[in-house]
């Protein structure tokens, strides 16, 4: 019984640590001084701002530079997809998701990864930005409010996306570094679920934000803790659970997908629908084009 009682407390502690680390690592563009200093907007990235999953696009870039094998991509893609779709807090699933995330960056220098992310944004991410979501972010900027990305992806990815889109800054999963090299360990947990809410709370405290005047946007019910913090939550391209919750609570819903049907069950639907068809196609195409290249 003692071990069972300790698990939720340990998870809570890791969530708080991850949120605090992410808020502390946030970088603000000095030139983007807000005129409405107490209001801000928080945007999830994957399938909210960008079609597909940003970490998969990074994996593709690493693969093209011979820094990642096809087998590693397929394994990591499955773990990340399951974590995102199921939103599981099972310790084994969380550990597997963390391990697959760290496999992308362990042993690489931070400066090396930053340059790769810059290139990968141009090659694989820029054309996948949803115009509708980008317009919403710009509206907040035009009203003098700060706009932050909040994502489970490594903060290095989030910073590049925020910078390229002219946003205020980014909150993301913080990976431990030693002498400028990633150790393969996280600071706390992945920035997921309650950890995102903790990061937003901490940022609001340090930046003097009134959360009742803030907005948040996400596609996933996993982000309900963050969405429920603010006065103006909005579901973007929502999964079925989030759509139901949003309608029940009178939240705004925006869907920028075309020809998409959110019906059916099973792994195929989870991969193509909830996790994003673009993610599935990236992995599929890599497998087809690289069979035999690296022993996969």
Distances (CA, A) of 137 to 115, 211, 215: 25, 17, 10
180: which 2 tokens? 């400028």
The one catalytic residue in 44, 219, 223, 239 is 44
Q: How many helices (H) and strands (E) does the chain have?
A: 12, 8
Strand 40-43 to strand 146-154: parallel, antiparallel, or no bridges (unpaired)?
A: parallel
3-state secondary structure 136-202: HHHHHHHCCCEEEEEEEEEHHHHHHHHHHCCCCEEEEECEEEECCEEEEEECCCCCCCHHHHHHHHH
Q: Are 226 and 200 in contact (CB under 8 A)?
A: yes
Residue found under tokens 């310790």? 91
138: which 2 tokens? 């710009």
Q: Which residues contact 96 (CB under 8 A, 6 or more apart)?
A: 79, 83
258: which 2 tokens? 């075309």
Distance CA 186, CA 99 (A): 9
Could you confirm whether 44 is annotated as catalytic? yes
The one catalytic residue in 10, 36, 46, 219 is 46
Catalytically active residues, by annotation: 44, 46
């Amino acid at each position: 019984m003692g071990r069972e009682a300790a698990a939720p407390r340990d998870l809570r502690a890791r969530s708080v640590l991850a949120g605090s680390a992410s808020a502390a690592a946030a970088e603000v563009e000095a030139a983007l001084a807000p005129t409405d200093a107490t209001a801000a907007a928080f945007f999830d990235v994957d399938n909210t701002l960008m079609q597909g999953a940003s970490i998969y696009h990074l994996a593709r870039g690493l693969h093209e530079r011979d820094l990642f094998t096809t087998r590693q991509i397929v394994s990591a893609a499955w773990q990340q997809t399951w974590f995102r779709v199921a939103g599981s807090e099972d310790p084994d699933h969380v550990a597997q998701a963390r391990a697959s995330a760290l496999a992308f960056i362990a042993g690489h220098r931070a400066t090396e990864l930053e340059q790769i992310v810059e290139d990968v944004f141009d090659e694989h991410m820029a054309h996948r930005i949803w115009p509708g979501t980008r317009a919403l972010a710009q509206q907040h900027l035009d009203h003098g409010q700060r706009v932050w990305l909040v994502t489970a992806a490594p903060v290095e990815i989030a910073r590049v996306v925020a910078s390229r889109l002219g946003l205020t800054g980014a909150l993301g999963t913080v990976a431990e570094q030693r002498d400028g090299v990633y150790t393969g360990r996280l600071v706390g947990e992945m920035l997921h679920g309650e950890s995102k809410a903790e990061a937003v709370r901490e940022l609001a405290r340090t930046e003097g934000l009134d959360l009742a005047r803030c907005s948040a946007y996400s596609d996933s019910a996993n982000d309900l803790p963050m969405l429920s913090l603010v006065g103006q939550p909005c579901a973007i391209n929502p999964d079925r659970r989030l759509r139901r919750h949003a309608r029940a609570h009178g939240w705004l819903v925006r869907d920028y997908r075309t020809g998409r049907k959110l019906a059916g069950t099973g792994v195929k639907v989870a991969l193509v629908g909830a996790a994003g068809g673009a993610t599935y196609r990236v992995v599929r195409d890599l497998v087809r084009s690289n069979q035999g290249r690296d022993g996969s």
